[in-house]
Structure 1
């Protein structure tokens, strides 16, 4: 099979039929063998009924329905697990991503040799204040922090080799950082393509300004995980030892200084009256706690079990 098109969605009943027809037309024009996997992330409208109707008329359509809303990352995770195509395309269901981009994205992976290709919505039709400017700031920070130089990390339109989606673990709200996760997993050839962005035709956006706040928090998380996720002792243990040694040497200096003053018959204040004594003690305690945090992190990594992150109600 050439293509698996993975489409997470939430309350997109109005756009699904049009999107399906558009995809089918593009697939026929390019003679692709394909499957379309719709993941209903807990919609409260008739989205699932529409998907059932599409699956009844087109055997290439498959569906996954969550019991409730778990988030886009979980939806992509479920879609990636089900996908069988040589190349996987992800796109949003709101018609802002054009299926006409699929052939070029497919070619860049198969003929161009890229592990994955991310879309870049260079010209956008979103609010400048509430979406464009925060998005530019977010993408700048992501480039500087991750070392992956893409203009648009959050573009839903992407293409992947099958091996990438089968080896990248998408959890939490890390769907924004799949390129970074791919790079950390060893898939270093990551490309970018300018894609057409269309104004929303139906419904309203499902994302508010809070997604950018969450995005920056996730960026810090992925920065930490990419460097110390498999070796927390290297960070917490090192910081703990450094702080403990600083506190220990400070306490030693205070004690030696007091003994010296007593030896030369100078009046020496009590150790507990010296504010540096409490600073040294606090530093030693914090150092011990950081060391233990790293040690416990190592134990958790070695004993954790894979937990179920979402529940599927129905599949097609």
Structure 2
């Protein structure tokens, strides 16, 4: 199979027939063998019934329905497990991503040998205050931290080698940072393509202001996990050693003062309590490092989500 098109969705019943027909047209024109995997992330409208109807018309349409809303990262992670195409292309279900971009994205991965190609919505039709400005800020910070030269990390339209999606785990809210996950997994050839951004035709955005806070916290998390997930003692041990040395040296200084001057009162000195606190913090950080090492070596592989129903993927 040439292409798996992965589409996470939440309450997008109106856009799904048009999107599926558009993708089918592009695939037939380019003679691609393909599958479309819709992941219904706990929709409360008739999205799942629409997917079932599309499946009856086109056997290339497949679906996964979650029991409840788990989030976009969970939807992508589950679809990545099921995807069978040599190239996996993700896009949003709201018709703001154009399926006409698929052939070029496929070519960049299949022929130009990119591991991952991320879309760049250079011209956007979103609200400038709530989306464009925060997006530019987070993209700049992520570029600085990750050293990946992309302008739009969070663009839903991306293309991957099959090996990439089978090698990473997308959890929490990490869908924003899949290129970073891919880089930490060892995939270095990451490209970018300017893609069309279309105005939303149906429904409303499913993301609120909390995504700004979550995005920043996830960036810190992914930076830490990427560097220290397999060697947490390198982080906790360094800081533990630093605090312990500071506390020990301070306590040793006070003890020497007491030996030189017997009238010298140790317990009346703020430095005494600071040194004890530093020693305790140092020991605790060491213990956190040891426990983290044990967890890192015995951690389960992937998250599991409660799936209510599947179609076409049995």
Q: TM over 0.5: same fold?
A: yes
Deviation at 1:238, TM superposition (A): 1.6
Say whether 1:291 aligns with 2:295.
no
**Could you give the per-residue CA deviations for residues 247-276 of structure 1, whole angstroms, max 9, x where no partner exists?**
1111001110121123xxxxx331101111
More deviation, 294-303/56-65: 294-303
Aligned positions, number: 311
Say whether 1:205 aligns with 2:199.
no
- Superposition pairs of residues 275-286 of structure 1, within 5 angstroms: 275-286=270-281
More deviation, 45-54/165-174: 165-174
Contact 1:131/1:209 (<8 A) preserved: no
Gaps of 5+ in 1: 263-267
Contact 1:65/1:314 (<8 A) preserved: yes
Q: Secondary structure at the match of 1:272?
A: coil
Deviation at 1:109, TM superposition (A): 0.4
Q: How many Å separate the matches in 1 of 2:226 and 2:306?
A: 28
Q: How many Å separate the matches in 2 of 1:12 and 1:154?
A: 20
Deviation at 1:304, TM superposition (A): 2.8
- Superposition pairs of residues 1-316 of structure 1, within 5 angstroms: 1-262=1-262, 268-306=263-301, 308-316=303-311
Deviation at 1:148, TM superposition (A): 1.1
Q: Which has the larger radius of gyration?
A: 1
Q: Which runs of 4+ in 1 moved over 4 A?
A: none
Contact 2:169/2:302 (<8 A) preserved: no
CA RMSD of aligned residues (A): 0.9
Gaps of 5+ in 2: none
Q: How many Å separate the matches in 1 of 2:93 and 2:37?
A: 11
Q: How many Å separate the matches in 2 of 1:272 and 1:72?
A: 56
Deviation at 1:307, TM superposition (A): 6.2
**Could you give the per-residue CA deviations for residues 166-223 of structure 1, whole angstroms, max 9, x where no partner exists?**
1111111111111011111111000000000001000000011211211010000001
